[in-house]
Amino acid sequence: MAHHPTIHTFRRMKEKGERIPMLTCYDYTSAKILDEVGVPLILVGDSMGMVVHGHESTLQVTLDMMIYHSRAVVRGAKHAMIVIDLPFATYSASDLPLSLRSAARAIAEGGGHAVKVEGGRRMVPVVRTLVASGIPVMGHLGLTPQSIHMIGGYRVQGRTEEAAERLLAAAHSLEEAGAFAIVLELVPSHLARKISESLTVPTIGIGAGPHCDGQVQVFHDIMGMYEDFLPKHSKRYANVAGTIRDAARQYIGEVKDGSFPSDAQSFGKGSAVGE
């Protein structure tokens, strides 16, 4: 069985000042490629609601969808640690048995190694319960997309001194509850630095500046596949949508003009399929 990094690997990386690259992933083929190049941490993110299923937010994602995609990712990535997002309304401090059932299903059926939950202090009982049951938990602070209707849109969090203090306190409470890492989303750079320096567990930033212990981005954003919207915090490293468009146009043209398939893609008498 292949060895994957553990929660201790990432804490050691933080101690050594080694940055942690994390990417989202939702399918076997992409997982295999990311694994080959050595991405150590893969998030099966509920962002699949938008980039794979075309929903307007993450709120429509179900636990069954997460498990289905997670199994595909696990088959492709043999060396990365795989974290699964627990989707909207599948966990809550007011229903710890539900939270444990959801997390246990994500791990047992989805095959990942850890789960991610969104929220600050109110998540402490959830994190404690899951960790006590042997399920590693990654926290998520700042902009928490599952609470988008409560937050009132996608905007930077922790801008006031009071809000900043609240975020810092929340990060500490999640660490004390047993979270092995914390995602900071849309948090001012100086605050993310302060939080990162005051925690012993690693922070993973997304739109939280360069001082976090690691970074996470959405696969379809950095590959230039999802063109509906590119967040300010993202960088396009490729234009895969353009490549697919060009290839598809060429294929259409060749089918129409009869140049595909040629003899090279055709079978004669007695030729083997693999030839």
Catalytic residue numbers? Answer: 185
The closest alpha carbon to 14, from 131, 180, 218, belongs to 180
Q: Give the three-state DSSP class for 254.
A: helix
Secondary structure of 57-102 as H, E, C letters: CCCCCCHHHHHHHHHHHHHHCCCCEEEEECCCCCCCCCCHHHHHHH
Q: Which residue has tokens 């997304």? A: 206
Helix axes 28-36, 63-76, angle to 10 degrees: 40
d(CA 86, CA 107): 10
Residue 24, strand partner residues = 43
The single-letter code of the amino acid at 125 is P
Residue 230, strand partner residues = none
Torsion angle of the four alpha carbons 218, 224, 225, 226, in this order, in degrees rounded to the nearest 10: 60
Question: Cα 125–180–93 angle (5° rounding)?
Answer: 15
d(CA 43, CA 54): 19
Phi-psi region of 242 (alpha: psi -120 to 50; beta: other; left: phi over 0): alpha
Q: Give the three-state DSSP class for 222.
A: helix
